[in-house]
Amino acid sequence: MKLVLKTSFVLIVAGVAGVALFLIVFGWSSSRAQQQNGECSMLVLEKKIEPITTATEYHRACMASKGYGMQPSCYIDNFTGASCFIPRWMFWINKV
């Protein structure tokens, strides 16, 4: 009986630790996406890229080079906000 309780406790602790680690990595990744998005936006401004369609494509290419894919709905609607970019390691999310 004690062995079953110890095993259950270890499995529960491992599960909670795994979820906590995932949430920490997810939060860090979201923070990095905002920072990288700001850097790409500044590059567009510094290089004075126009028209807006060219600037948008440059911004998307910049984020792709930093390891971020774009959500399909943002691609269709021509958005470039930080929330539109998903890290490549999140393979289960559909990206363009």
Question: What is the pLDDT at residue 10?
Answer: 92
- Pairing of β 68-70 and β 85-87: antiparallel
Describe the chain by its helix, strand, coil percentages, rounded to 5.
70, 5, 25
The predicted-structure confidence for 8-19, as pLDDT tens digits, reads as follows 999 999 999 999
pTM here? Answer: 0.70
The percent of residues in the chain predicted with pLDDT above 90, rounded, is 35
Q: Is residue 51's pLDDT more than 80?
A: yes
**How far apart are the C-alpha atoms of 36 and 39, rounded to whole Å?**
5
The predicted-structure confidence for 32-45, as pLDDT tens digits, reads as follows 888 999 999 999 99
